[in-house]
């Protein structure tokens, strides 16, 4: 009985880990496929340093201001939840180690920067799709 329960717990943990890593790979794929060009200037103007995880709130608020005209809305709720979790872990690291020190080896800072980059990439994609839609409307 104990062995079967142990196998069940380990299998469930592996499944959860696979789901989290698959979700994170989707974030990385979105960032990697974002073209660098004119939109990079707009994105750089919005956030002068995309590697700064503290810009997440600014980019996220811009996301809510920019309408999604093609109804291909990307749900950023999971990214916001993950960012909040990372923020809490960062505070915990500040409490355990020392305020201002790289808690958890800088892992939380890198992950928060990843969330910021993903949100900026989605913002850039939304802006590009809105510009394409506006060009289509003007062509009539």
pLDDT in tens, 34-54: 665 555 555 555 544 545 667
- Per-domain boundaries in the chain: 34-138
**Is pTM beyond 0.75 here?**
no
The mean pLDDT of 106-110, rounded to a whole number, is: 81
Indicate the average pLDDT of the chain. 78
- Assign 5 to helix, strand or coil: helix
Residues 8-26 have a mean pLDDT of 90
Please compute the mean of the pLDDT values over residues 121-138 and round it to a whole number.
83
How many Å apart are CA 116 and CA 63, to the nearest integer?
12
Cβ-proximal residues to 54 (8 Å cutoff; 6+ apart), any chain: 112
CA distance 128 to 140: 19
């Amino acid at each position: 009985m104990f062995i079967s329960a142990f196998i069940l717990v380990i299998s469930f943990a592996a499944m959860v880990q696979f789901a989290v890593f698959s979700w994170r790979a989707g974030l990385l794929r979105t960032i990697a496929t974002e073209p660098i060009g004119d939109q990079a200037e707009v994105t750089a103007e919005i956030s002068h340093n995309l590697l700064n995880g503290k810009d997440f709130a600014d980019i996220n608020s811009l996301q809510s201001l920019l309408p999604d005209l093609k109804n291909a809305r990307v749900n950023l709720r999971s990214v916001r939840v993950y960012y909040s979790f990372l923020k809490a872990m960062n505070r915990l690291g500040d409490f355990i180690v020392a305020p201002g020190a790289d808690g958890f080896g800088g892992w939380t800072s890198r992950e928060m920067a990843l969330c910021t980059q993903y949100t900026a990439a989605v913002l850039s994609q939304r802006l590009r799709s809105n510009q394409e839609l506006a060009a289509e409307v003007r062509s009539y």
